[in-house]
Amino acid sequence: MTILFHLFGDRLMRFSDLERAIPAISQKMLIQQLRKLESDGIVRRIVHHQVPPKVEYGLTKWGEKLCPALDALLLWAEDQSAPSETNESDV
Q: Which pLDDT score, from 0 to 100, does residue 90 have?
A: 56
User: What single DSSP character describes residue 13?
Assistant: E
CB atoms inside a 10 Å sphere around CB 75: 10
DSSP helix/strand/coil, 59: strand
Q: In this model, does residue 75 exceed pLDDT 70?
A: yes
Q: Note whether 22 and 2 are within 8 A (CB).
A: yes
Domains of the chain are 2-80 (1.10.10.10)
Q: In this model, does residue 88 exceed pLDDT 60?
A: no
Q: In this model, does residue 85 exceed pLDDT 90?
A: no
Q: Note whether 29 and 63 are within 8 A (CB).
A: no
The predicted model gives 54-68 an average pLDDT of 92
Rounded distance, CA 27 to CA 32, Å? 9
Rounded distance, CA 55 to CA 45, Å? 7
Q: In this model, does residue 83 exceed pLDDT 70?
A: no
% of the chain beyond a pLDDT of 70: 89
